Amino acid sequence: MDVLDELRPWQEELRGQFPLITANPDVAYLDSAATSQKPKAVLDAVLTYLTTGNANAARGTYPWANRTTTRIEQARDRLRRFLDDPAPERSGVHFVSGTTEGLRAIARDWLLPQLRDGDDIVVPFADHAANNAPWLETAELLRHQGISVNVRPMPYDAAHDYDIDRLTALVSDRTRLIAATHVHHVYGNDMNVHRLRGVAGPAVPICLDAAQGVGHLPLSTAATDVDFVVFSGHKAMALPGTGAIWARNQRGPTYAPAGWSGSPNTSGIISLVAALDWLDAADMDRIARWNTALGARLTDGLRTLSSFEVLGCQSSLATDSPVQQRQGIVAFRHRVIGSNDLGFILAAHGLMVRADGHCQGDQGEKAASVRVSLHVYNTVEEVDRLLAVLGELDHD
């Protein structure tokens, strides 16, 4: 049976748990890579917290404050379990506002003090700018102090995956960090980061931008030997302004930014715990299979329309592929109609997509595109509706 048929009853049940989605059956939200919608369980958890025990953490002597502090400590353990942490007694979890802040904090607080003249760092210039800027800023800061750090561009192959052979040739005993991405935010492909440890060897730290991975497909830090996982909770069903850094603390100095610096985003962290509970209960494997199958349906449909060009991997990635190269992100252009115009046309049909350059780094796409990003609340009918509108714009 087709994956979409097999999972449909499960998916319909889950879709019904998203109040904003069910209240708006006439529109299709197709921009989950920007931020996800929130299930009722997450909204309820926040409302319950705010109406029964809202207080600041790590500052009070009274029950609401103490309970909040405990819940935030517990949230760290919850994330460790979600990421299948093999050594929770050693790892660190730090809450941030999102991936941008998380990567910047690692660059500033952990990487910068270790860098010496002549060291190398590998930066993925065709990935999200949030995974370029902090590393470049660090090198620039050090340059002003007379310390020269070589920024080595991550090599890519023709399918926009990391080029493992060329990366192997690049890594040396001066490499201090490889910055990588779990799932590409424009091409939607799984960047197969499990291969990176073999290239990096036992000593080189790897920092993973998992903004489009966590909450979309399973990620086991026991199976994937990276040193940092950084993600945005708001793209994984939690509230805006939430995200986290997970640090393995096995290579280089322990990552230990000043503990409780400032008031934490208590309700955001509580929403993240509820989101992780919800995702685990929904089943991360199934979520990944659903999103991949929907993405494949869209890719296949677009390839029958000659006016459209799909960016990145061209194959439909058969929905039963064990490789799961493309997740639920598909970017495309019309050969004549500009992408921004296309975005407005789709919006007029109730199809909410993103149309711009998608914050890609310096080696990214030069022209704007339309990006459709799917999540578990999206349906086959929504994808087909989008394809029908695009079909009207297909002119030979």
Q: How far is the CB of 335 from ligand PLP (least distance, A)?
A: 26
d(C-alpha 43, C-alpha 21), whole Å: 14
Residues 182-221 interacting with ligand PLP (rule: CB under 6 A): 185, 209, 211-212
Interaction of residue 132 with ligand PLP, rule CB under 6 A: no
Instruction: Report the 10 Å Cβ neighbour count for 18.
Output: 22
Q: Give the closest residue to 49 by CA, choosing from 242, 273, 270.
A: 270
Our finding on whether 371 is near ligand PLP (CB under 6 A) is no
With CB under 6 A as the contact rule, which of the stretches 94-102, 265-273, 281-289, 296-304 interacts with ligand PLP?
94-102
Provide the angle, in degrees to the nearest 10, between the axes of the packed helices 266-282 and 63-82. 40
Q: Shortest approach of ligand PLP to residue 230 CB, angstroms?
A: 8
Distance CA 224, CA 226 (A): 6
Q: How far is the CB of 97 from ligand PLP (least distance, A)?
A: 7
> Using CB under 6 A, which of the segments 109-117, 127-135, 170-178, 218-226 binds ligand PLP?
127-135
Q: Which of 65, 112, 130, 217 binds ligand PLP (CB under 6 A)?
A: 130
96-104, 280-288, 341-349, 378-386 -> range binding ligand PLP (CB under 6 A): 96-104
Q: For ligand PLP, give the closer residue by CB, 96 or 387.
A: 96
Q: Is 354 in the site for ligand PLP (CB under 6 A)?
A: no
Q: Per CB under 6 A, does 181 bind ligand PLP?
A: yes
Q: Which of 11, 91, 100, 316 binds ligand PLP (CB under 6 A)?
A: 100
Sign of the CA dihedral with 123 first, then 125, 126, and 130 last: positive
Q: Tokens 């297909």 belong to which residue?
A: 394
Can you tell me the distance from the alpha carbon of 5 to that of 10, in angstroms, rounded to the nearest whole number? 10
Residue 312 engages ligand PLP in binding (rule: CB under 6 A): no
By CB under 6 A, name the one of 45, 69, 93, 98 that touches ligand PLP: 98
Sequence-separated (6 or more) residues with CB below 8 Å from residue 100? 130
- Give yes or no for residue 32 binding ligand PLP (CB under 6 A): no
The structure tokens listed for 177 are: 């960090």
Residue nearest to ligand PLP (CB): 98
Inter-helix orientation angle 40-52/266-282, to 10°: 150
Burial class (CB in 10 A: 0-12, 13-18, 19+), 349: middle
Chain positions contacting ligand PLP, by CB under 6 A:
33, 98-100, 128, 130-131, 181, 185, 209, 211-212, 232, 243
